[in-house]
Amino acid sequence: MKVSDKFEKVSELARRRGFFWPSYEIYGGVGGFICWGPLGALLKRRIEDKFRDIFLRRLNFYEVETPIIAPERVFKASGHIDNFKEPMVECSACKRKFRADHLLQEIAGISSQETDKMKLEDIGRSLNEHGVKCPECGGLLSEPKYFLTMFQTNIGPYSDNIGYGRPEAAQGIFTEFKRLYEQVRERLPIGFAQIGHALRNEISPRQGPIRLREFTIIDLEFFFDPENPKCHLLDEVADEKLRLILAENRLKGDEKPVELTVREIVNKGYVIVEWLAFFMALAKRLVTSLGIPEDKQHFIEKYPWERAHYSAQGFDQEVYLERWGWVEVAGFNYRTDYDLSGHMRESGVDMRVFKQSDKETVREEIKINPVIKNIKEDFADKAPEVIRMLQGINPEAILEALDKQGFFDLNGLKITPRHIEAVRVRVKEKGKRFIPHVIEPSFGSDRLAYAALEYAYTVKEDRVILKLPRDIAPIQLAVLPLVSRDGLPEKAKEVYSLLLDEGFYVEYDESGYIGKRYARFDEIGVPLCITIDYQTLRDDTVTIRDRDTWRQVRTKIAEMPPLLNKYFRFKINFEDLGTPHR
């Protein structure tokens, strides 16, 4: 690592100018938590809005918001309770705890693809063979054990009512799928996204904004008919080139990316479902639009043992960062029907959808009839609610629970054989019922924001310029009187108010000489500075200065709003904002 690498430079700027910094510094700090300051919060929001534009608005998909805390049953159904755990060791001397696989990678030089395949006993054996000790004090390490990396809490005052902070935003979409599907008039394919905080109780986060315990995640769950997996939008991205590191090549020791068009990727069968390649192409466009060059990003296909427990095929989108090398900023997984099937089994609620066809089918199914007399006797005023809820439960789930434990848990109420009767009925219908499959693009908002900052950080003539793309810059415009006298501040404030009223994010500054103010706004990435000078008082024109080239044009105040709107939407370039200033 360099003495002063790009991460240190960006972090110093971020702390000083209000992008991000470690949380709780007055108490000595807590690893894995950062604060996004006024500029950083705006930067993240603009990146998230770009996602909304590309993945939601243009595709006619929808955004939802669900709770961060969920009952234990949700994560039991989703497989997180059994699978969301990492190997941990503790130092016998200083009592610090570490990710055991990370120590093998960092100290013993073992690749992540090797540690991902190791069982707990393999990790312990490898730590001993390589003489790995505590990186903080050199103490001996304990035998590794698994640590559940979800934050546990109690919901309400009851210790047995366990809940967890969500490690992903996806489960809130899956648990609410039935209602969401009804609200979009029961159409497939359809996508629902959620942008919000997620919690992962990382064992030893040591990578600034790259590995956090609380972070913002962007999850899109795209539901489709597995019998009709064709992507009808593929032509829109067919010629987009993606750099892929394929699993079959990785197994041969070849980590070199191959560059293929989306059409070639689909035709060669490198993706199980066409939609996976479609969303990867959109993601490449999104990340490129943040100022990250195409040759500094690629998609790496995950081995089966590297994939999440719900994934049938997965690619990570990685970008190159100076300190850490290739870092994941997004993941693309084919989740099949894993999640909806899990929640259907655990909750008993039927998550299937109905697809009509001309062919009539006859099937036999079990129907649950409530024994109203007994339900009223046992549940009194709750009887109507019990009867209503029973109608939405999968009958097979009720019968399976009765067979195993003698009762079915209906939101804390015990349903026994005296409350229901099961009958077999023949059902005729034109169509079939099935559980939709899911493709998931998932982005780390914090990582995208940091990557955008690192690639924007530029030095020109010993001055720092943050060359953020104009549409994600936190502050769009700065209005500056040339000097703070002779009526220039008053005129500048008129222009400032005009631009505020037009919806722009604008700052006003009259402190210090003009060159220093230009440098100040260059450093925080403001694309344009608007200077009010003595000519402004004569003809109502202003100077607009470009952050990156330092060129200037002259423009009439009245013409600025529509021109600036076009500029920030990439409809025109800087030269189109006015006439060259001499």
**Hey, where are the domains in the chain?**
37-69+164-352+435-470, 359-430, 475-580
What's the rounded Cα separation, in Å, for the pair 247 and 300? 8
172, 192 Cβ separation under 8 angstroms: no
What's the rounded Cα separation, in Å, for the pair 166 and 200? 8
Helix 338-347 × helix 395-405 angle, to 10°: 60
What's the rounded Cα separation, in Å, for the pair 22 and 29? 7
pLDDT at 158: 82
User: Is residue 201 over pLDDT 70?
Assistant: yes
What's the rounded Cα separation, in Å, for the pair 91 and 97? 6
User: Is residue 263 over pLDDT 70?
Assistant: yes
| Mean pLDDT (the chain, rounded) | 94
Instruction: Assign 376 to helix, strand or coil.
Output: helix
CATH number given to 475-580: 3.40.50.800
Sign of the alpha-carbon dihedral angle for 572, 577, 579, 582: negative
Nearby residues of 143 by Cβ (< 8 Å), 6 or more positions away: 89, 124
Nearby residues of 25 by Cβ (< 8 Å), 6 or more positions away: none
pLDDT in tens, 311-339: 999 999 999 999 999 999 999 999 999 99
Predicted confidence band at 430 (pLDDT cuts at 50, 70, 90)? Answer: confident
Instruction: Assign 472 to helix, strand or coil.
Output: coil
Segment holding 9, helix H or strand E: helix 6-17
Place of tokens 């009808």: 232
User: Is residue 443 over pLDDT 70?
Assistant: yes
- In the DSSP assignment, the letter for residue 572 is S
pLDDT at 450: 98
pLDDT at 582: 66
Percent of the chain with pLDDT strictly greater than 90: 83
What's the rounded Cα separation, in Å, for the pair 330 and 297? 11
Predicted confidence band at 205 (pLDDT cuts at 50, 70, 90)? Answer: confident
Q: What is the mean pLDDT of residues 567-580?
A: 96
User: Is residue 274 over pLDDT 90?
Assistant: yes
Q: Does domain 37-69+164-352+435-470 have CATH number 3.40.50.800?
A: no
Give the pairing type, strands 413-415 and 162-165. Answer: unpaired
Residue 170 exposure: Cα atoms within 13 Å on the Cβ side: 27
What's the rounded Cα separation, in Å, for the pair 245 and 362? 48
Burial of 24 (0-12, 13-18, 19+ CB in 10 A): exposed
pLDDT at 1: 42
Tell me phi and psi for residue 446, to 5 degrees.
Answer: -65, -45
pLDDT in tens, 355-400: 888 777 787 888 888 999 999 999 998 898 898 888 878 888 888 8
Predicted confidence band at 113 (pLDDT cuts at 50, 70, 90)? Answer: confident
The pTM score is 0.89
Amino acid at 424: R
User: Is residue 4 over pLDDT 80?
Assistant: no
pLDDT in tens, 91-108: 999 999 999 999 999 999
Q: What is the mean pLDDT of residues 465-479?
A: 98
pLDDT in tens, 153-170: 999 988 889 999 999 999
**Helices (runs of H) and strands (runs of E) counted in the chain:** 21, 29
What's the rounded Cα separation, in Å, for the pair 98 and 105? 12
User: Is residue 3 over pLDDT 60?
Assistant: no
pLDDT at 356: 87
